[in-house]
Homo-oligomer: A and B are copies of this chain.
């Protein structure tokens, strides 16, 4: 079986911006992006859900597909924490708490490596290398399953530029940010290499489903 590299549930604003400026320890996504995740939080299969409710319509197909056949994740350093440059505090264990929602090995791309870190059933490995090299490591760890590319924008752009992404699910929210890290000017930029289904959801977001031609 082919091991796909999949982007899933990645949120951007209507102007294509994924992560705001001014990221900090208190604001992992920079400026207020809470509205960009409301669609997921309303579903029955949202991994952070603590009560038994939630919708089981279109949006729930996307949240419940999140762990399906995933054996590893790749993320940029900024999805692990806000710090730049050499690590100053190895005691700080990232934004994801004692029970990270990944449940697989996670490869954090960084120029500043540090020892691997295990929290519950998630192990973070800190790796340096180009996208193809890191993908090779993640595929081996995934043991035949697919690899999720977790973001942020800079990391996804790197893998798109190297033509390593097989499928990509981007959720466009009806908000505009104007400035910040931009995934695209328009989704049509990718149509030379990808098929695209554009699926408006009753919740107000528009799911963009890309798969390699």
Contacts and interface: CB of A to CB of B under 8 A. Distances in A.
A197 B167 contact: no
Interface in A163-213: 166-167, 195-199, 201-202, 207, 209, 211
Interface in A61-82: 61-62, 64-65, 68
Interface in A24-82: 52, 55-58, 61-62, 64-65, 68
Contacts of A58: 197, 199, 207, 209
A199 B198 CA distance: 11
Per DSSP, chain A at the interface is mixed
A207 B197 CA distance: 14
A198 B64 CA distance: 19
Contact of A202 (B64, B65, B167, B197): B197
Contact of A61 (B52, B62, B195): B62
Interface in A60-108: 61-62, 64-65, 68
Contacts of A198: 202
Nearest to A62: B61
Interface of A: 2, 52, 55-58, 61-62, 64-65, 68, 166-167, 195-199, 201-202, 207, 209, 211
11 contacts: A57-B195, A57-B196, A58-B199, A58-B207, A58-B209, A61-B62, A65-B65, A197-B201, A197-B202, A198-B202, A199-B201
> Closest 6 A-B residue pairs measured CB to CB?
A57-B197, A56-B211, A57-B209, A58-B197, A61-B61, A56-B167
